[in-house]
């Protein structure tokens, strides 16, 4: 249940705060791994429940997101799609489709410039979009063969779209050279105890934003 998951992650976070109160410079490797795996396990537990109990699974993810703090990511992060959450009846079909074929692999952040971009597999999909004229911004990363970096963004600390009482790290795509559909997107990310980053993607409609999905990021 959402309340039990929330309490479990809060307990894990207490370990981190106790270390800080005792002025312990850093947790042991085992403690750090426990915190990270606890957060990741609960996120993936919610992901596994989406097919059978979508309402509670999305509630768990929403509560976990609120437990986090705004991160200051820097460098490449591996990404995973946790679950679609548009509230539409087509969500399960699109979740099944993304499991079969999802070229998004993560994000790269530059903390110094509050910027970054997305990592995609350089496959037939990305090559086709390049021929169509978007994205114009493409970086081939020698450290990650077979990938391309696209859809640049800016980051800032700001109130959440759904959680206005919570400060999040907002990821905005409103600047060119992003194509118009991408410019309507806004991501938000929060760091859970142990360093796992849980994110939400939103798309702006005619009058308001709609949450599109939850995603996860781990340091590459």
pLDDT tens profile 58-106: 888 998 898 889 999 999 999 999 988 776 655 565 555 455 456 889 9
Q: How far is CA 33 from CA 55, 62, 175, in A?
A: 30, 23, 38
Residue matched to tokens 């986090």: 68
Quick one: which of 191, 207, 108, 122 has its CA closest to 152? Answer: 108
Supply the pTM of this predicted model.
0.81
Quick one: which of 107, 130, 132 has its CA closest to 185? Answer: 107
Average pLDDT over the chain, rounded to an integer: 79
pLDDT in tens, 105-163: 999 999 999 999 999 888 776 666 665 556 667 788 778 888 888 889 999 999 999 99
Q: For the chain, which domains are there?
A: 2-67 (no CATH), 75-219 (2.40.160)
Label residue 42 exposed, middle or buried (CB < 10 Å: 0-12, 13-18, 19+): buried
Sign of CA pseudo-dihedral 110, 155, 107, 120: negative
Judged against a pLDDT cut of 60, whether residue 5 lies above it is answered with no
The predicted pLDDT at position 155 comes to 97
Query: φ, ψ for residue 216 (rounded to 5)?
Result: -125, 155
What 3 state SS string does 160-190 have? CCCCCCCEEEEEECCCCCCCHHHHCEEEEEE
Tallying the residues shown for the chain, one arrives at 220
Cα separation, 70 vs 5, whole angstroms: 20
Q: Give me the numbers of helices (H) and strands (E) for the chain, helices first please.
A: 6, 9
Half-sphere exposure of 11 (CA within 13 A, CB side): 9
């Amino acid at each position: 249940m959402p309340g039990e998951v929330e309490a479990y992650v809060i307990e894990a976070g207490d370990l981190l705060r106790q270390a800080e109160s005792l002025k312990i410079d850093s947790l042991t490797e085992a403690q750090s791994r426990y915190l990270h795996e606890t957060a990741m396990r609960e996120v993936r537990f919610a992901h596994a429940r989406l097919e059978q109990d979508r309402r509670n699974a999305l509630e768990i993810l929403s509560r976990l997101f609120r437990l986090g703090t705004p991160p200051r990511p820097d460098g490449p992060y591996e990404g995973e799609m946790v679950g679609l959450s548009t509230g539409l009846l087509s969500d399960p079909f699109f979740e099944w489709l993304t499991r079969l074929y999802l070229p998004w692999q993560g994000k790269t952040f530059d903390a110094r410039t509050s910027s970054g971009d997305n990592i995609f597999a350089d496959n037939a999909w990305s090559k086709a979009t390049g021929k169509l004229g978007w994205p114009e911004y493409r970086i081939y990363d020698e450290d990650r063969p077979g990938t391309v970096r696209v859809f640049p963004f800016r980051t800032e600390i700001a109130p959440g779209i759904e959680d206005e009482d919570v400060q999040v790290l907002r990821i905005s795509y409103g600047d060119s050279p992003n194509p118009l559909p991408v410019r309507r997107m806004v991501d938000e990310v929060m760091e859970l105890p142990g360093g796992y980053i849980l994110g939400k993607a939103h798309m702006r409609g005619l009058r308001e934003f709609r949450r599109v999905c939850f995603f996860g990021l781990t340091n590459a």
